Amino acid sequence: MENRDCRPGRRAALLLALLLALPGADTCEPREPPARPHPCWREPPGGPLIGFGDGLPMVFWNDPSVRRDGDRYRMWLSGGDLRQDPDALAVAIYEATSPDGVAWTLDPEPRLRPAGGRAWDSLRTETPEVLRVGDTYHLYYSGCTGTCETGVYAIGHATSSDGVHFRRDPANPVIRGHDDTSRWGHSTAAEPAAVVRPSDGRILLYFVGIRSHADTGRTEFGILAAVSDDGSRFRVVVDEDGEPLPVVRLAAEDPPEWAGVSHPGTFADPSGRIHLFHSVVTHASPFRTVRIDHRVSDDGLAFREVERGVVVRRRWHDHMVHAPSPLLEGGGLRLYFAGFIDLSRPRFRAGIGLAVRRPECP
């Protein structure tokens, strides 16, 4: 039996959770059955580490970016107050800290607020990715203006000496979409993930782009890449014909009618390989993800899948699982992620979760 959830109020909450709305979001699709958890990954029992309303009443927490910084863990994340008008819902970037990566304390003061006025990021600053290079913290984020209902986002950049006080880059937005719907990356650029490539010291920035198929009308999500020497000026990676090149697309084993991949998260291991985690998008309208996969690359551009379904829809995140933030330390691998429970359930749960790779797995 198909389980559908199409009430307008719940669609608004869903758009907040995803923070990526596209035209035509009134279509309602059947839910996909949950996949089995990966045997090499486990989630601690209980609910999310940071839940809906923790720290600030009625704030929906999303999009973690977690780093080990000295003797503590730091998480930058998106937050939006659901008491706001859904058509003008502002989203800011906050920070939480932890001594062990499990128990978190949220700071109620945002690290980056929407710019306001007529700026390109006047309404929402979200999906943070923080990368420390030397003594500088680089913050990459998705921003939008107007009502943000069109899903037209661009990627901004800000820097800080302490990870608390950020200054916007005068060159913003550093990556934006284009007008040709037949080419990858049209209209929107969002969900950044950044890593320093060990082979040359350049910053690789992964982001979500879309392409429209004129013959079918299908919208496809893919992960694109851009390269920078200074963290501010980026060159989008292209193929031999000069077209934007998606470095990750939907796996051949997945149903071809699914919408693609989204929400990259990345790190470089001691051998110099680039690891990329991403969510799998089953439907674009309404936007829905079913699992998080893990890929590896020697050069940061040609990826191969190594683990499928690292985290899947279940328990408190049985409606959506996305926004992976991997953390490698001491030979162990943690994956922070965002999700929320089926909105038809009597008790709504949402927030930031954790999965840990079992040490006995190769």
Per residue in 176-188, pLDDT tens?
999 998 899 998 9
141 residue type, one letter: Y
Please say whether the beta carbons of 282 and 292 come within 8 A: no
In this predicted structure, the answer to whether residue 28 has a pLDDT above a threshold of 50 is no
In angstroms, rounded to a whole number, what is the distance separating the alpha carbons of residues 250 and 258? Answer: 8
Tokens 């990021």, residue located: 121
pLDDT top residue among 22 and 359: 359
Distance in angstroms between the alpha carbons of the first and the last residue of the chain: 39
Strands 59-69 and 219-228: unpaired
What average pLDDT does the structure give for the chain? 88
In angstroms, rounded to a whole number, what is the distance separating the alpha carbons of residues 48 and 131? Answer: 24
What mean pLDDT comes out for the span 333-338?
Answer: 98
In 3-state terms, what secondary structure has residue 49? coil
Q: Which of 135, 156, 158, 131 is CA-nearest to residue 66?
A: 131
pLDDT in tens, 60-118: 999 999 999 999 999 999 999 999 888 789 999 999 999 999 999 999 999 999 999 99
pLDDT in tens, 214-226: 777 788 999 999 9
Residues forming beta bridges with residue 279, ordered by sequence position: 262, 292
Phi, psi of 106, rounded to the nearest 5 degrees: -90, 135
Q: Which of 28, 32, 33 is CA-nearest to residue 10?
A: 28
Please say whether the beta carbons of 349 and 48 come within 8 A: yes
In this predicted structure, the answer to whether residue 361 has a pLDDT above a threshold of 70 is yes
In this predicted structure, the answer to whether residue 4 has a pLDDT above a threshold of 90 is no
Which CATH superfamily, name and number, covers 11-30+40-343? Glycosyl hydrolase domain; family 43 (2.115.10.20)
In angstroms, rounded to a whole number, what is the distance separating the alpha carbons of residues 74 and 242? Answer: 39
Complete DSSP assignment for 68-130: EETTEEEEEEEEEETTS-GGG--EEEEEEEESSSSS-EEEEEEEE----TT-TTSSEEEEEEE
pLDDT of residue 229: 97
Complete DSSP assignment for 153-167: -EEEEEEESSSSS-E
In this predicted structure, the answer to whether residue 31 has a pLDDT above a threshold of 80 is no
Tokens 């940061």, residue located: 300
pTM of the model: 0.91
SS3 content of the chain, % helix, strand, coil (to 5): 5, 50, 45
Q: Which of 215, 279, 202, 213 is CA-nearest to residue 248?
A: 279
Contacts of 187 (CB under 8 A, 6+ apart): 150, 151, 152, 177, 178, 179, 181, 210
In this predicted structure, the answer to whether residue 331 has a pLDDT above a threshold of 90 is no
Residue 46's pLDDT band (boundaries 50, 70, 90)? confident
pLDDT of residue 2: 27
Share of the chain above pLDDT 70, in %: 89
